[in-house]
Amino acid sequence: MCIRDRVNIERMFKLMGVESKVADQKDAKELKLSDGKIEFRNVGFSYEENRQILTDLSFTLEPGEKLALVGGSGAGKSTIAKLLFRFYDTDSGGIYIDGQNIKEVTQLSLRQSIGVVPQDTVLFNSTILENVRYGRPGASDEDVKEAIRLAHLQEFINQLPNGYDTKVGERGLKLSGGEKQRVAIARTILKQPGILIFDEATSSLDSASERAVLTAIDDVSQGKSSVVIAHRLSTIVKADRILVLERGQVVEQGNHENLLKQNGRYAHLWNLQQHTEHKGNV
């Protein structure tokens, strides 16, 4: 692994305000990603004593499947994503990727295999082209431009005063939430990770922008195992597996149809959101 990659990952963590709490085992091996099968086996986790966040959580995500995490604020959605990225170690049980316990592989190889599209993307004071190139620092201009096209950012860039060379970030052009998310998607396309984590934006994007983001997410996650932290149920009806979380517990799991039939918590949330969206449109 080259030093440049290591520095980039550390910088990214700093910017995300996250300090890794785990250390590599002495004999840690590189993660060998083949199909991208993800298994949570009886996972238990708490940030603090006496406050269990996840209890005996088990699920399997077959290669290429899409997992959606739903539930109210504080239910434990981000915690599951953080454990998969190994910001923290589980207290009990284990997380396996293609049969390898993520505690036994190097953090670097694990994190290079996983692409994260966060809710709020950090932009550097540089051009839009350089901001996207950050996904893979050695990438050619051609590859960066292709990633921009695939992330549905081209039209936006065409309207900028200096196109690809337009300065963005704190001292440059401010991007909207949806545009920033597409920069993150373009970075992820460049990185080409085998596993993807999306943190869907909570802030309401306008509908054209939301459509562009969702189409880009759909395109990039095609055939890849992906985890989506979902805030709006309408965006995850096609997910292969949905975990419904409440106060750190999985209260239901299944796909959209199964969960509606169960007529439980998910069906209740679904009806509630349909009602709200309908009212919002009146």
- Confirm if 217 and 193 have CB atoms less than 8 A apart: no
Given a contact cutoff of 8 angstroms between Cβ atoms, the answer to whether 241 and 67 are in contact is yes
Residue 75 Cβ, how far from ligand ATP at the closest point, in Å? 4
Residues 195, 199, 205: CA angle, nearest 5 degrees: 135
* Separation CA 15–CA 169 (nearest Å): 13
Return the HEC string of 58-115: EEEECCCCEEEEECCCCCCHHHHHHHHCCCCCCCEEEEEECCEEHHHECHHHHHHHEE
Residue closer to ligand ATP, measured from CB, 36 or 248: 248
Is 48 a binder of ligand ATP (CB under 6 A)?
yes
Smallest gap from residue 147 Cβ to ligand ATP (A): 28
Applying CB under 6 A, among 1, 11, 21, 47 the residue interacting with ligand ATP is: 47
Other Cβ atoms less than 10 A from the Cβ of 34: the count is 11
Among 33, 61, 71, 235, binds ligand ATP (CB under 6 A): 71
Question: Site for ligand ATP (CB under 6 A): which residue of 31, 33, 43, 53?
Answer: 53
Q: What does the block give as tokens for 88?
A: 């923290």
Site for ligand ATP in 104-133 (CB under 6 A): none
Q: Do the beta carbons of residue 170 and residue 125 sit within 8 Å?
A: yes
Stretch that binds ligand ATP, among 17-25, 75-83, 137-145, 190-198 (CB under 6 A): 75-83
End-to-end CA distance of the chain: 55
- Strands 225-229 vs 249-254: parallel, antiparallel or unpaired: unpaired
75 near ligand ATP, rule: CB under 6 A: yes
- 159 is an interface residue for ligand ATP by CB under 6 A: no
Q: Which of 36, 43, 68, 79 binds ligand ATP (CB under 6 A)?
A: 79
Q: CA 52, CA 252: separation in Å to the nearest integer?
A: 18
**What is the per-residue binding string for ligand ATP in 220-259, x denoting contact by CB under 6 A?**
----------------------------x-----------
Residue 76 touches ligand ATP, criterion: CB under 6 A: yes
Q: Which stretch binds ligand ATP (CB under 6 A): 24-32, 70-78, 94-102, 253-261?
A: 70-78
Number of neighbours of residue 213 by Cβ within 10 angstroms: 26
Q: Interacting stretch for ligand ATP, rule CB under 6 A, among 5-13, 45-53, 106-114, 236-244?
A: 45-53
CB of 248 to ligand ATP, least distance (A): 6
By CB under 6 A, name the binding residues for ligand ATP: 47-48, 53, 71, 73-79, 248
